[in-house]
Amino acid sequence: MQNTTTLVRHQQWMWAVRQEIGWPPFKPANDCLAFSSGRPTDVQIGTELARVSTQMRKDIIYSAWADEHATRPDSYTIVIRDLLKTDVIDRCLPWAASETSPIIFISTRRDEMFAIGQRGLLERVAGKPKSLGRGKALAVKRIRAAAATMRSELAEGNVYVPFGGPWVEPAHSADTIVQFG
C-alpha cells in the first residue's frame, strides 16, 4: 500500500480534477463517475480499471503517476462504459479552452475527447480542439492551483483497492441532493 503522503497528494489532485471538470463536490443524483489514481497505466492496470469500473457501475477518470515521489500525474486514463463493453483509453491529457471553461480530456491515440455532458455523464465526443499544448498547460495550471487548496488529510471515504482486490462501497456515502420544484 502507498504511504499516506502519496495518497493525500493523489486525493488532492483528483479532487481538483473533479472540481475543474465541473463535477459537484457532493454525491450527485446521477452518481456515475469515479476518480482514481495509481501507477502508470499498462495492460494489467487497464484490465483492473475495467473490472473495478464494472463492479462500481461507474466510469472512471484515472490519473497515472510515474512513482510515489511525482508531483503530478504523467497522464490520465478514461474508463467509459458503453452498452456492451467497457473501453479503457490511456494516454489522455487534460485540456482547457479558457480560465473558466470546464476541463476536458483529449485522447492522444484517437480522434476523440471526453467531457461531462448536460446529464452529468462522461461523454465521448469525436474530434480534438486546436492548440493542444496551450490548452494542456492551462488545464495543468488550473488543476495544480486547485489541488493546493484541497485539505491535507485523507478523506474518510477514500478507498484503497489492492491489485485484484474487491471494491467495496464506502460505508459513509454523502447524500444526494433532491430538489422538488
DSSP symbols for the chain: ---HHHHHHHHHHHHHHHHHHT--SS--SS--EEEEEESPP-HHHHHHHHHHHHHHTSEEEEEE-SSTT-SS-SEEEEEEE-SS-EEEEEEEEEE-SSSSSPPEEEESSSSEEEEE-TTS-EEEEES--S-HHHHHHHHHHHHHHHHTTS-SS--TT-----TTPPP---SSPPPPP----
pLDDT at residue 19 in the model: 96
pLDDT at residue 174 in the model: 52
> Quick one: pLDDT band at residue 5, thresholds 50, 70, 90?
confident
**Do 63 and 107 meet the contact criterion of CB atoms below 8 Å apart?**
no
In the predicted structure, residue 170 carries a pLDDT above the cut 80: no
In the predicted structure, residue 35 carries a pLDDT above the cut 60: yes
> Quick one: pLDDT band at residue 179, thresholds 50, 70, 90?
very low
Separation of alpha carbons 67 and 87, rounded Å = 25
In the predicted structure, residue 1 carries a pLDDT above the cut 60: no
pTM (2 decimals)?
A: 0.88
**Do 117 and 130 meet the contact criterion of CB atoms below 8 Å apart?**
no
pLDDT at residue 156 in the model: 73
**Do 33 and 61 meet the contact criterion of CB atoms below 8 Å apart?**
yes
In the predicted structure, residue 180 carries a pLDDT above the cut 70: no
pLDDT at residue 151 in the model: 85
3 vs 61, residue with greater confidence? 61
In the predicted structure, residue 144 carries a pLDDT above the cut 50: yes
pLDDT at residue 26 in the model: 84
Q: What is the mean pLDDT of residues 98-114?
A: 97
Q: What is the mean pLDDT of residues 57-79?
A: 95
Beta 86-95 vs 75-81: how paired, if at all? Answer: antiparallel
Separation of alpha carbons 80 and 60, rounded Å = 7
In the predicted structure, residue 61 carries a pLDDT above the cut 60: yes
Residues 68-77: pLDDT tens digits? 899 999 999 9
